[in-house]
């Protein structure tokens, strides 16, 4: 990944109001993008545990997929979500969550993306997403 | 269905529904509004807001906001099916199909139906629309684990 990719990622994070609403950040290390969701009280869905809202985790996973596609595709247009399946594996605790996207197949019109989120250990994922995204056409 | 031995909200389902919109931080942050509660169903709405937009080129509300709305509305439908009995629900999986984008600057309404509730699992379908329920922006199929808990 180049300086240009860093600039593209920064542009993605700056442009979407919902990214700022979540407080989502991301880092590039070589060709690996790691999305970061610092804990914030407004993300809580269950105050008893407390745990992150399932929708927040789903939204974070979806934005991670879109960010990875944005950086890789470089079309300057956002891909459109066709469908997502979100699997919840563990409660998302009141701590920082990380996610990485794997572009399983990027075709001419559609991409298949898998995303996994974890907190304390990557080997103990809290949630996973599989989805199809319609790529922005020129 | 098990006997209603678990503690309930004294105010029953209306109080549970109220709690879900005002006392859950994520629901309050999104400005979720309760629209209706039915037999085993619930309807909620998220009004459009500038800071909830996913793509500034279009002004359309973010998919993640719709995900939170749908997940939450599914929870409301489960509460309705459980007749206000207090359960902890944990989402197992959520499959969302996006038919089309919502209209720019449009709020989104979601209606969920808990069509089967066992001792440990709830099965829910939901759909979301911006203007017309017959023209949905998204449909959902979800499963939740149920655990009795005190209020």
B113 occurs within a structural domain: yes
B127 occurs within a structural domain: yes
| Nearest residue in chain A measured CA to CA from B150 | A48
Record: contact A62-B63, CB cut-off 8 A: yes
**CATH number of the domain to which B51 belongs:** 3.10.129.10
Rounded distance between C-alpha atoms, residue A20 and residue B126, angstroms: 27
Rounded distance between C-alpha atoms, residue A76 and residue A61, angstroms: 20
B5 occurs within a structural domain: no
The domain tally of chain B equals 1
Determine what percent of chain A is predicted with pLDDT higher than 70.
99
Q: How many residues does chain A have?
A: 138
CA distances from residue A80 to A77, A112, B4, B16 in whole angstroms, order as listed: 9, 12, 44, 35
C-alpha closest to that of B61 among B109, B103, B98, B27: B103
Half-sphere exposure of A72 (CA within 13 A, CB side): 20
Rounded distance between C-alpha atoms, residue A52 and residue A46, angstroms: 7
Pair type for strands B41-46 and B33-37: antiparallel
Nearest beta carbon to residue B55 from set A16, A47, A83: A16
B43-67: average pLDDT: 95
B8 occurs within a structural domain: no
- Name the β-bridge partners of B101: none
Q: pLDDT (tens digit, 9 = 90+) per residue, B91-111?
A: 999 999 999 999 999 999 999
pLDDT score of B83: 85
* Selected residues 22-81 of chain A with any CB under 8 Å from a CB in chain B: 22, 41-48, 52-56, 58-60, 62-63, 77-78, 80-81
Our CA-based measurement puts residue B14 at a distance from the nearest CA of chain A, in whole angstroms, of: 19
Our CA-based measurement puts residue A132 at a distance from the nearest CA of chain B, in whole angstroms, of: 10
Q: What is the ipTM of this complex?
A: 0.93
B10 pLDDT band (50/70/90 cuts)?
A: low
B12 pLDDT band (50/70/90 cuts)?
A: confident
Our CA-based measurement puts residue B2 at a distance from the nearest CA of chain A, in whole angstroms, of: 23
Chain mean pLDDT for chain B? 89
Q: pLDDT (tens digit, 9 = 90+) per residue, A44-75?
A: 998 888 999 999 999 999 999 999 999 998 88
Q: What is the pTM of this model?
A: 0.93
Q: pLDDT (tens digit, 9 = 90+) per residue, B14-43?
A: 777 888 888 899 999 999 999 999 999 999
Record: contact B92-A87, CB cut-off 8 A: yes
Rounded distance between C-alpha atoms, residue A113 and residue A136, angstroms: 15
pLDDT score of A1: 52
Determine what percent of chain B is predicted with pLDDT higher than 70.
89
- For the stretch A122-125, contacts whose Cβ atoms lie closer than 8 Å and that sit 24 or more positions apart, written own/partner, are A122/A98, A124/A90, A125/A89, A125/A90
B1 occurs within a structural domain: no
Instruction: Name the 3-class secondary structure at A133.
Output: strand
B4 occurs within a structural domain: no
Domain with B132 in it: 14-148
pLDDT of residue A121 exceeding 60:
yes
* Selected residues 119-148 of chain B with any CB under 8 Å from a CB in chain A: none
């Amino acid at each position: 990944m180049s300086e240009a990719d860093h600039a593209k990622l920064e542009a993605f994070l700056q442009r979407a109001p919902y990214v700022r609403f979540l407080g989502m950040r991301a880092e590039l290390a070589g060709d690996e993008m790691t999305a970061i969701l610092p804990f914030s009280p407004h993300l809580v869905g269950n105050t008893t545990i407390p745990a992150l809202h399932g929708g927040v985790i789903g939204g974070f996973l979806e934005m991670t997929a879109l960010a990875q596609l944005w950086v890789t595709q470089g079309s300057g247009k956002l891909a459109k979500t066709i469908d997502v399946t979100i699997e919840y594996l563990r409660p998302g605790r009141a701590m920082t969550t990380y996610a990485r996207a794997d572009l399983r197949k990027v075709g001419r019109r559609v991409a298949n993306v898998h995303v996994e989120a974890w907190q304390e250990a990557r080997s103990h994922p809290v949630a996973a997403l599989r989805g199809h995204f319609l790529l922005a056409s020129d | 269905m098990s006997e209603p031995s678990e503690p309930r909200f004294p105010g029953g389902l209306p109080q549970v529904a109220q709690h879900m919109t005002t006392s859950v931080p994520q629901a309050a942050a999104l400005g979720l509004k309760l629209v209706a509660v039915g037999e085993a169903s619930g309807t909620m709405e998220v009004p459009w807001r500038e800071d909830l937009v996913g793509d500034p080129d279009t002004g359309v509300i973010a998919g993640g906001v719709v995900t939170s709305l749908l997940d939450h509305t599914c929870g409301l439908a489960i509460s309705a099916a459980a007749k206000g009995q207090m359960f902890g629900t944990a989402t197992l999986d959520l499959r969302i199909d996006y038919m089309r984008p919502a209209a720019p600057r449009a709020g989104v309404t979601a209606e969920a139906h808990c069509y089967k509730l066992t001792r440990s699992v709830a099965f829910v379908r939901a759909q979301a629309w911006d203007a017309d329920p017959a023209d949905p922006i998204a449909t959902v199929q979800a499963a939740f684990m149920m655990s009795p808990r005190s209020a």
